[in-house]
């Protein structure tokens, strides 16, 4: 019987270039997958590790596997002027923006330690953010047929506050969520976020009427809600 490791190692990486962080994700991801492969081949029962990475990225646009390049609305020259990079990556979803003031979370979990249901996993990620926003007295929710976490769904004022896109192989996850905390929203004007037209994007500081949200406190709230939902011990 597999040993289920429900401890999660949390690493707060600070500000890291997107490609550098992607490579780090891939390294952790492959290490976990390799343990699972060795366990199966050699009939071992070595526990697999779980990680949650917090990071902020310099300005960058990323396009998922099913994304459409036409959703990037500026040229390479304009990208350079905005001091922004662009990458095609191996998560699901379309185009999104990462940048300063955005809390990005990359859970690298062996779902065999929790539950083997990718749809449930995505719903849990959304619920972590919904609960966190509730801590700020914001009523957030899912938007049927669309990914991420939203405010004022089913109204003309629907706006997205958190984007999501994941990859999973052998029940090991990578990529994750991007919660706008203190973001310069003008950078979203350069894309059709997640390929969805006629929907706006917002940031937590704007919604609660403050100049700057305390990101340390915000990360603590995310960690606590993540721990409760996944019934996991998170070691920071």
**SS3 labels along 20-43:** HHHHHHHHHHHHHHHHHHHHHHHC
Site of tokens 């990037």: 72
The pLDDT of 34-58, averaged and rounded, is 96
Q: Is 13 left (phi over 0), alpha (psi -120 to 50) or beta?
A: alpha
* Distance separating the N- and C-terminal Cα atoms of the chain: 29
Tell me the whole-structure pTM to 2 decimals. Answer: 0.91
What's residue 198's pLDDT?
A: 57
Report in angstroms the alpha-carbon separations of 225 from 71, 107, 116, 126, 205. Answer: 33, 14, 20, 11, 20
- Summarised one tens digit per residue, pLDDT across range 47-84 is 999 999 999 999 988 887 766 777 777 777 877 788 78
What's residue 1's pLDDT?
A: 65
Angle of helix 118-134 relative to helix 215-230, nearest 10 degrees? Answer: 140
Q: Considering only CA atoms, which of 194, 89, 200, 201 is closest in space to residue 146?
A: 194
The per-residue pLDDT of the chain, averaged, comes to: 91
Q: Which residues, in sequence order, are bridge partners of residue 63?
A: 88, 95
Q: Considering only CA atoms, which of 185, 204, 184 is closest in space to residue 134?
A: 204
Among all residues, which ones are annotated catalytic? Answer: 194
What's residue 71's pLDDT?
A: 75
Parse the chain into domains and list their residue ranges: 7-227
Rounded distance, CA 35 to CA 188, Å?
39
- Summarised one tens digit per residue, pLDDT across range 138-191 is 999 999 988 899 999 999 999 999 999 899 999 999 999 999 999 999 888 877
Write the class of the CATH domain 7-227. Answer: alpha beta
- Summarised one tens digit per residue, pLDDT across range 13-24 is 999 999 999 999
Distance of CA 111 to the CA centre of its chain: 16
- Summarised one tens digit per residue, pLDDT across range 96-139 is 789 999 999 999 999 999 999 999 999 999 999 999 999 999 99
């Amino acid at each position: 019987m597999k040993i289920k490791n429900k401890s999660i190692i949390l690493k707060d990486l600070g500000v890291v270039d997107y490609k550098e962080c992607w490579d780090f994700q891939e390294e952790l991801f492959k290490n976990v997958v390799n343990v699972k492969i060795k366990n199966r081949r050699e009939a071992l029962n070595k526990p697999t590790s779980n990680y949650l990475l917090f990071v902020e990225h310099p300005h960058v646009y990323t396009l998922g596997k099913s994304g459409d390049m036409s959703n990037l609305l500026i040229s390479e020259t304009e990208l350079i002027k905005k001091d922004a990079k662009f990458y095609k990556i191996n998560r699901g979803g379309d185009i999104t923006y990462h940048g300063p003031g955005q809390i990005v979370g990359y859970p690298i979990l062996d779902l065999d330690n929790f539950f083997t249901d990718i749809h449930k996993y995505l719903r849990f990620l959304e619920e972590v953010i919904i609960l966190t926003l509730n801590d700020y007295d914001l009523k957030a929710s899912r938007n049927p047929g669309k990914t991420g976490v939203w405010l004022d769904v089913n109204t003309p004022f629907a706006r997205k506050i958190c984007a999501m896109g994941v990859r999973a192989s052998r029940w090991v996850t990578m990529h994750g969520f991007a919660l706008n905390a203190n973001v310069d929203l003008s950078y979203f004007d350069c894309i059709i976020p997640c390929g969805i037209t006629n929907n706006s994007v917002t940031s937590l500081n704007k919604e609660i009427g403050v100049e700057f949200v305390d990101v340390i406190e915000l990360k603590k709230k995310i960690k606590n809600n993540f721990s409760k939902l996944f019934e996991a011990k998170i070691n920071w």
